[in-house]
């Protein structure tokens, strides 16, 4: 192993410039996963401070940004894990809105059918993220976090189950509920935005 | 026969794990006959693919999302770094 103890001269770390160079980027990364600006600011700060403490571990091979993002990724997952453990993990109260989308025999209800037939894929690129973000906010936190870890962080089932201390079947229930509700929410919001002729 | 609710669960699980032979047959038969569940599967795949696309754009800094650190946070974090860097 030839990992240098000091940053390579051609790729020095410059902590004084971190905020200006990478602050907004890391913030966007964090806020897209955490859905909360304050929490995102906090993990960005923690990332920089952890980076400072471990400057000597930077191999100089990858980019400074890539290295900081790796630290941030871990911080984001840690925060999700901690906040999940302080909340109820599975909302098995039976009042889940997904039940309102199916009738007693398990068929799609009439009220959701027309929305269901409208393809989600025709959402414009610029529309997609703001609407997904709004709809993630409306999900219970455990469903939104499971969806984020799976679809945004692309963690495997085992790793998510370990982080959230749940079983694979719990995880599949969370993901199933998240997907049904997200698709429905996104199409409903999308129609509303169009009707309002809103130009945000 | 599986209900649409059960089929929607299988659709979601098919993204996580390999379904059993029986589940795959049930799913295939149901989707051929039920356009609502077929629409749900189309949406589930679209949500998956477009979320990945969005994340890739975000990570390459080519995203339409342009959120920025607030100036207060920027100041605060700079001070924290300067204090620690001394």
Residue A61: per-residue pLDDT: 78
Report the distance separating Cα A117 and Cα A126, nearest Å: 22
Q: Does A127 touch chain B (CB under 8 A)?
A: no
Of B34, B39, B68, which to mutate for an interface test with A (greatest number of A Cβ within 10 Å)? B39
The confidence band for A196, taking pLDDT boundaries of 50, 70 and 90, is low
Domain coordinates in residue numbering, chain A = 17-87, 101-198
User: Can you name the CATH fold of A17-87?
Assistant: Rna Polymerase Sigma Factor; Chain: A (1.10.1740)
Q: Does A151 touch chain B (CB under 8 A)?
A: yes
**Where is average pLDDT lowest: A86-90, A137-141, A187-191, B82-86?**
A86-90
DSSP 8-state class, residue A102: B
The confidence band for A199, taking pLDDT boundaries of 50, 70 and 90, is very low
Residue A173: per-residue pLDDT: 94
Asked if A29 lies within 8 A of B58 by C-beta distance, the reply is yes
Neighbouring CB atoms inside 10 A of B38's CB total: 17
User: Can you name the CATH fold of A101-198?
Assistant: Arc Repressor Mutant, subunit A (1.10.10)
**Where is average pLDDT lowest: A26-30, A99-103, A110-114, B29-33?**
A99-103
The three-state secondary structure class of A42 is: helix
Asked if B46 lies within 8 A of A121 by C-beta distance, the reply is yes
CA torsion sign, A156 to A158 to A161 to A164? Answer: negative
Helices and strands in chain A: count of H runs, count of E runs: 8, 0
Taking only the tens place, the pLDDT of each residue in A62-80 is 889 999 999 999 999 999 9
Mean pLDDT on A9-16: 70
Residue B15: per-residue pLDDT: 93
Neighbouring CB atoms inside 10 A of B54's CB total: 21
Report the distance separating Cα B28 and Cα B38, nearest Å: 10
A25 chain-B contacts, CB cut-off 8 A = 61
Rounded to two decimals, the ipTM of the complex is 0.91
Domain coordinates in residue numbering, chain B = 4-85
Taking only the tens place, the pLDDT of each residue in B11-68 is 999 999 999 999 999 999 999 999 999 999 999 999 999 999 999 998 888 887 788 9
Residue A15: per-residue pLDDT: 84
Residue A197: per-residue pLDDT: 53
**Where is average pLDDT lowest: A53-57, A161-165, A196-200?**
A196-200
Whether A101-198 and A17-87 are alike in CATH topology: the answer is no
């Amino acid at each position: 192993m030839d990992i240098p103890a000091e940053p390579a001269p051609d790729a020095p770390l410059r902590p004084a410039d971190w905020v200006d160079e990478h602050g907004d980027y890391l913030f966007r990364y964090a806020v897209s996963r955490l859905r909360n600006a304050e929490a995102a600011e906090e993990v960005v700060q923690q990332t920089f401070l952890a980076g400072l403490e471990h400057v000597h571990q930077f191999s100089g091979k990858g980019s400074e940004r890539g290295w900081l993002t790796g630290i941030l990724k871990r911080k984001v997952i840690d925060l999700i894990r901690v906040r999940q453990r302080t909340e109820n993990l599975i909302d098995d109260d039976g009042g889940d809105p997904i039940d309102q989308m199916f009738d007693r025999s398990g068929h799609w209800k009439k009220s959701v059918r027309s929305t269901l037939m409208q393809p989600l894929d025709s959402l414009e690129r610029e529309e997609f993220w703001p609407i997904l973000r709004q709809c993630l906010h409306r999900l219970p936190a455990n469903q939104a976090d499971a969806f984020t870890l799976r679809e945004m962080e692309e963690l495997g089932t085992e790793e998510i189950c370990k982080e959230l201390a749940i079983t694979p079947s719990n995880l599949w229930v969370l993901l199933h509920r998240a997907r049904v509700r997200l698709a429905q929410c996104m199409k409903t919001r999308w129609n509303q935005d169009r009707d309002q002729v809103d130009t945000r | 026969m599986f209900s649409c609710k059960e089929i929607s669960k299988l659709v979601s699980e098919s993204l996580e794990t390999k379904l059993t032979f029986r589940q795959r047959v049930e799913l295939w038969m149901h989707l051929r006959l039920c356009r609502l569940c077929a629409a749900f599967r189309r949406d589930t795949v679209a949500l998956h693919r477009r979320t990945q696309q969005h994340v890739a754009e975000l990570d390459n800094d080519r995203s339409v999302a342009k959120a920025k650190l607030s100036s207060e946070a920027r100041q605060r974090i700079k001070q924290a770094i300067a204090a620690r860097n001394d």
